[in-house]
Structure 1
Amino acid sequence: MAQDVRDPDPGYLAFWGERHLCTLTTLRPDGTPHVVPVGVTYEPEAAMARVITNKNSTKVANILAAGPDGGRVAVCQVHGGRWATLEGLATVRTEADRVADAVGRYAARYERTPAPNPDRVVIEIAVDRALGRG
Structure 2
Amino acid sequence: MPDVRNPGPEYLAFWRERHVCTLTTLRPDGTPHVVPVGVTYDPETRIARVITGGNTRKAAHVMAAGPEGARVAVCQMQGRRWATLEGRAVVRTEPEEVEDAVRRYAERYERTPRHNPERVVIEIAVDRALGKG
Offset of residue 81 of structure 1? 0.8
- Alignment partner of 1:45: what SS? coil
> Unaligned 5+ residue runs, structure 1?
none
Aligned to 2:76: 77
- Alignment partner of 2:44: what SS? helix
1:105 maps to 2:99:
no
Alignment of 1:48-87 (within 5 A): 48-87=47-86
Contact 1:6 1:46 in 2 (8 A): no
User: What is the CA RMSD across the aligned residues, in angstroms?
Assistant: 0.7
Aligned to 2:114: 115
Partner deviation per Cα, 1:80-117 (whole Å, 9 max, x = no partner): 01000000000000000000000000000000000111
Offset of residue 6 of structure 1? 3.0
Q: Which runs of 4+ in 1 moved over 3 A?
A: none
- Count of residues in Structure 1 that have an aligned counterpart in Structure 2: 133
Q: Give the AA of the match of 1:117.
A: N
Aligned residues with identical type, % of pairs: 73
Whole-angstrom CA distance in 2 between matches of 1:125 and 1:83 = 19
Whole-angstrom CA distance in 2 between matches of 1:60 and 1:33 = 14
Aligned to 2:40: 41
TM-score where L is the length of structure 1: 0.97
Whole-angstrom CA distance in 1 between matches of 2:65 and 2:91 = 11
Offset of residue 61 of structure 1? 0.5
- Alignment partner of 2:111: what SS? coil
Whole-angstrom CA distance in 2 between matches of 1:5 and 1:44 = 8
> Unaligned 5+ residue runs, structure 2?
none
Q: Give the AA of the match of 1:58.
A: R
Whole-angstrom CA distance in 2 between matches of 1:114 and 1:30 = 32
